[in-house]
Amino acid sequence: MAGGRRGLTQRQIHTLFDVGPVAGLSDGQLLERFATRSGEGAELAFAALVDRHGPMVLHVSRAIVRDDHEAMDVFQATFLVLARKGRTLWVRDSLGPWLHRVACRAASRARHAAARRRRIEARRAAMADPRDCQHCVGDAKELAAIIHEELNRLPERFRSPVVLCDLEGHTCEEAARHLGCPVGTVASRLARARQRLRDRLRRRGLAPNTSLIAAAMSRQGPSTSISAALARSTANAAVQFVSIGAANQGAAVSLALELLHVMSISHWIKVTSLLLVMSGSATGLVAFAVKDAAVDNQVADAPPKIVGTNEIPGLQVKPGQFKVRPEQIGRLEASQTAEVFSLVEGQTKILSIVPEGTRLKKGEIVCELDSAAIRDHLTKQQVTQRSTEAAYNEAKLAREFAERGLKEYEEQIYPRELELAEKEILMAEERIEMADERVKRARNASDRLKELLNEQKGTKTAADIIASLDLDDRVDDARLRLQRERKALDIGRTNRSVLERTTRTRTIRQLRDEVKTAISRERAEHIRWEGVQSRTTFLQRQIENCRILAPSDGSVVYANDPNRIASGDQAQIQKGAIVRERQKLFSIPELDGPMRVLARFPEAIVDRITPGLPAKVEVHAFPDQLLEGVVENVAPLPDPSSYFNKDKKVYTTYISIMKGTPGLRPGLTADVSISLADLENVLTVPNQAVVRYENQDHVAVKTAERGIEWRVVTLGLSDGKRVEVKEGLNSGETIVPEPAPLLSDEQKEKISRAPSQSPARRKTSTNRPTMPPALLTKFQALSPEARQQLGNASPRDRELMLKKLDFTDVEIRQLNPIISPANPPR
C-alpha cells in the first residue's frame, strides 16, 4: 500500500511539473490545453473545467429532466460535446453561457425521448400547453425547468449575466471581467434579464415572486455538488471520446452524437433559410428554419406517402448523355522540384534568405538560420566531452591496473608463496632428520655409559651419576626438538594446503571481481563519452545545417501558405520568421522541365480518380490552348485545410501535362477536367433533389393528382452536380429539384439521425483500404509537408522515412500500401 501511494504521489508530482497548475487558468486556456495536449495533461485540464462548471450543468440537467439517471446522461453528454467542439470553439473567458445552452438543449431532447418511451404516463407539465400548467406553480422543480427553458430563449446579452451570476454564483465584477463589459452594464442587463424572465413566466400563467425564482434557480446543496471522482471520470471519458470516438455506445454518448449532428447542420440550415427568403419562398422558410422550436413538438407517428402541394417547381427527367468530367481550378507547378526543409532541431530564426524568385546555381547560399544558441550548446558540450573523456581514460587505467594485479598474482605472487611454503616443508623435513640423528646419538651415549658403569662393578661416583643424568637430559632435549620439528612440518604442510585450496581461490576471485567492476565502469564511461561525442558531432552538423545551399539550379519559391498570407497573418518564410524542424522552407523548381497541375477534388468523386486517367488542362494565361494531361497521383488523406470540415473534404490531385507550351510557369492558374465516364441514355437528377434516410435514397416525384410521391431510387455515378438514377424513375416523370420544404416532421427527424453523406459519396468504391484509428491519429499528427513527402516517395524511401519518424515495423507494413497514391485510404 505504501508503494502504491508513493507511485501515485510521484505521478501527481510528475503531472504538476509537466502540465503545470490549472487552478488559475481561464476557461479558454484550459480548453486550449485540452485541445493541444494529450494524456494526463488534457485530462487534468478538462477535469478542471468539469469541476468549475459541473455544478451548474448538473443543476440544469436535474431541473429539466428530474430523473437522476437521465440527468447524469445529460451531464455527461454536455461535456462530451464540449470535448468534441473544443478545437473549434471560441471562448472569450467563461464557458458557462455556452454550456448552459448545450445542457438545456440536451436535457430537452432527453426529456422528450423519455416521454416517447413512457406514453402511458401523464405528460410533464413543461411539455404541455403553458396555459395548462396552473397546477405547477408551487412545484419548485417544475418552476426551475420552465425558468431554464425561458432563460435559454433570452438574447445572449441578457442570458450570459444570469448564467454567470445566478447559476454559477459569480459577482457582477467577476461576470463583467468574463464578459468584457463594464460592471454597470452587467448589473443593468442582469436586472433587465430578471424582469424579462418574470414577464415571460406571467405570460405562461405563472406569477412567482423574486424569492421563489431565486430558490428555483439556486444550485446550493449536496445534490448538485461535483465530486473529484465524477470530474475525473468525465474528463477521462471526454479524452477517450475525442481520441478513439464513441467506441462504447451508451445513452450519454448517443445523446452527445445527436447534439453534435444537430449543431453541425444548424449553420447550413440558417444559410438555406436565408436563400429561401431571398427567393421569396417564405412558406418553405417557415417549415425548414424552425428546427430548434420544433424540438418541443411531438413527432408524428407515420408520414403520409402523398403530400399535397400547389405550384411547386418541377424538373422533367429525360434520358440523355452524361459525361462524368469533374472540373476544378488548380495551379501549375514544376514536376521536378527540389524541396528544402529545415534540418535544425527545435525552432530557429531565419537570419537571411535570398528574395523569392531569385535564380541560383547549385551550391549557392540561399538561407542562413540563427546558430547562436547551437554554438553556445556546442561550447558547453565540448567541455562535457573533455570531462567524460577524462573519466573514461581514468576508468580504462583502473581496468588495466586490475587486470595487471590479477596477472601478477597468478604468474608471480602465488608461485612465489607456494615455493616458499615448499621450502619451509623441505627445511622442516631436514631438521626432523637432524633431530632424529641427535636423539639416536644421545640414546647411544646414554646406553654406552650405563654399560661402562655396569662393567666397573663398584660404587658409582658422583661424577658417574652426573654424567648419566647429563646424557639422559640430552636424550630428552633431542626428543623435544624432534617433536618441535615434526610440528613445524605439519604446520608447513597445512599452510601449503591453505594456500593452494583457499587463499589462492579467494584472492583470484577478488581480483577477478575487481577486473569485472573496472571493465563495467570502463564500458559505462565509454558509452557516456561516445554519447557526448555523438551529441557534439550532431551540434556541429546542426551548425552546418544552418547554412542552406541550393540543391540544384533554378528559381527560389518560398513555402508560404497563401491562405495565411491573405488572411493578414505573418508569412511563414521571411527574414526574422521562426521555423521548426522538418518545416519546408523553400523549393527550387526546374523551370525548363515538364509541368503539372495541383488541384483539389471533393471526396464525392476522389475514389474514382486513379492514376492514368486522361484530363484536359486550360491555363488561364493561354485561353486559346487546351492541353492534354494525365492523372499522376492522388493524396492519401484530405487536404489539411479541409480536414476538420465535416461537410466537405478535398484531396490534392496532381495532373501531369503531357506536352506543354512555351511560357508556362509555376503559379499560373488552370481549369482541369478529368474524364471519368461517358454514359449514354441515362437519367440524371440534381444532387440536391436526393434525400437520404433509413439507408435509402428518395426523390420527390410530382403525380397527376397534383401531389408529391416520395420514391425510393438507386443511384449511380455523379459528377458532383448531378447523379445518375439507375432504378426508381421513369423517363418523362417530373421531380422536385428542391424538396426540402416538402419534408414532413418525421422525415426531418430521420434525416437528422442519418449520417451526413452526399449522394455521390455513397456510390464510391469500397475497395479503398482503411487505416486503424490509432494509426490514423499518429499519421495525422505529422506535418502536412511530411505527409506530402510520404505520398510522393517510393515504397522503399517511404519505409525509411517512416522509420525516422518513429513508426514501428508493424505500422510501416500497414501504412506502406495505404499511403500509395494509387490506393489512398479513407
Higher pLDDT residue, 567 or 545?
Answer: 545
CA distances from 162 to 89, 143, 270 (A): 21, 16, 27
- Whether 378 and 536 have beta carbons less than 8 Å apart is answered as yes
Q: Three-state secondary structure along 518-530?
A: HHHHHHHHHHHHH
Over range 483-492, report the average pLDDT. 90
Instruction: Please give the pLDDT value at position 307.
Output: 41
Angstrom distance (rounded) from CA 340 to CA 621: 29
pLDDT the model gives residue 61 = 85
User: Residue 752: how many CA atoms within 13 Å on its side-chain side?
Assistant: 27
Question: What is the Cα–Cα distance from 512 to 583, expressed in whole angstroms?
Answer: 54
Residue 303: CB atoms within 10 A of its CB come to 16
Q: Looking at 34-43, 299-308, 665-674, which range is the least confident one?
A: 299-308
| Spatial CA neighbour of 78 closest among 51, 103, 110 | 103
Element (H, E) at 697: strand 696-702
Give the alpha-carbon dihedral of 485, 491, 497, 501, to 10 degrees: -170
Nearest-10 Cα torsion for 228, 230, 233, 236: -70
Q: In the structure, what pLDDT confidence band is assigned to residue 497 with cuts at 50, 70 and 90? A: very high
| Burial (0-12, 13-18, 19+ Cβ within 10 Å), 529 | buried
pLDDT category at 551 given cuts 50, 70, 90 is very high
pLDDT, tens digit, 9 for 90 and up, residues 167-179: 888 888 888 888 8
DSSP letters along 530-579, please?
Answer: HHHHHHHHHHHHHHHHTEEE-SSSEE-EE---HHHHHTTPPPSSSTT-EE
Residue 325 three-state SS: coil
State how far the Cα of 731 lies from the Cα of 318, in Å rounded to an integer.
5
- Give the start-to-end residue ranges of the domains of the chain: 13-219+226-268, 299-323+676-762, 374-545, 773-819
All three cell numbers of 140, joined, read 419548485
DSSP state of 301: S
Q: How confident is the model at residue 129 (pLDDT cuts 50, 70, 90)?
A: very low
Residues near 453 by beta carbon (within 8 Å), at least 6 away in sequence: 460, 464, 468
The residue type at 254: S
CA–CA separation, 25 vs 34, rounded Å? 12
Question: Highest-confidence range of 124-138, 457-471, 573-587, by mean pLDDT?
Answer: 573-587
Tell me: pLDDT of 816 over 80: no
**pLDDT (tens digit, 9 = 90+) per residue, 308-356?**
444 577 888 999 888 888 888 998 888 888 889 999 998 999 999 999 8
734 burial level (CB within 10 Å; 0-12, 13-18, 19+): middle
Alpha-carbon span 546 to 369, nearest angstrom: 5
Is the dihedral angle over the CA atoms 656, 660, 664, 668 positive or is it negative? Answer: negative
Mean pLDDT of the chain: 78
Range of lowest pLDDT (406-420, 426-440, 531-545, 792-806): 792-806
pLDDT at 662: 81
pLDDT band, residue 394 (cuts 50/70/90) = very high
Percent of all residues in the chain with a pLDDT value above 90, rounded to a whole number: 23
Question: pLDDT tens-digit profile of 56-115?
Answer: 888 888 888 877 888 888 888 888 888 888 777 766 667 888 888 888 888 888 887 777
**pLDDT at residue 11 greater than cutoff 60:** no
Closest of 470, 436, 437, 468 to residue 451, by C-alpha: 468
**Per-residue pLDDT, 333:** 85
299 compared with 812, residue with greater pLDDT: 812
Q: What is the CATH number of domain 374-545?
A: 1.10.287
Which of the two residues, 91 and 116, has the higher pLDDT score? 116
What Rg value do the Cα atoms of the chain yield, rounded?
46
> Among 1-10, 60-69, 74-83, 252-261, where is mean pLDDT lowest?
1-10
Axis-axis angle for helices 40-64, 96-117 (nearest 10) = 60
Nearest to 180 by CA among 93, 112, 252: 93
Q: Residue 110's closest CA among 143, 54, 66?
A: 66
Is the pLDDT at 745 greater than 60, yes or no?
yes
Sequence letter at residue 464: D
* Fold of domain 299-323+676-762: 2.40.420
What pLDDT, in 10s, does the model give residues 688-742? 899 988 888 999 998 876 678 899 999 888 877 788 898 889 888 989 888 888 8
User: What percent of the chain is predicted at pLDDT more than 70?
Assistant: 75
**Residues in the chain, overall count:** 826
Closest CA to 62 of 154, 167, 203: 167
Query: What does the pLDDT average to over 781-806?
Result: 74
Count other C-beta atoms under 10 Å from residue 274's C-beta: 12
Q: Of the ranges 4-13, 296-305, 414-423, 759-768, which one carries the lowest mean pLDDT score?
A: 296-305
Q: What is the pLDDT of residues 613-634, one digit of tens each?
A: 999 999 988 888 889 999 998 9
Element (H, E) at 185: helix 183-203
Exposed / middle / buried, residue 525 (Cβ in 10 Å: 0-12, 13-18, 19+): buried
User: How large is the average pLDDT for residues 566-573?
Assistant: 58
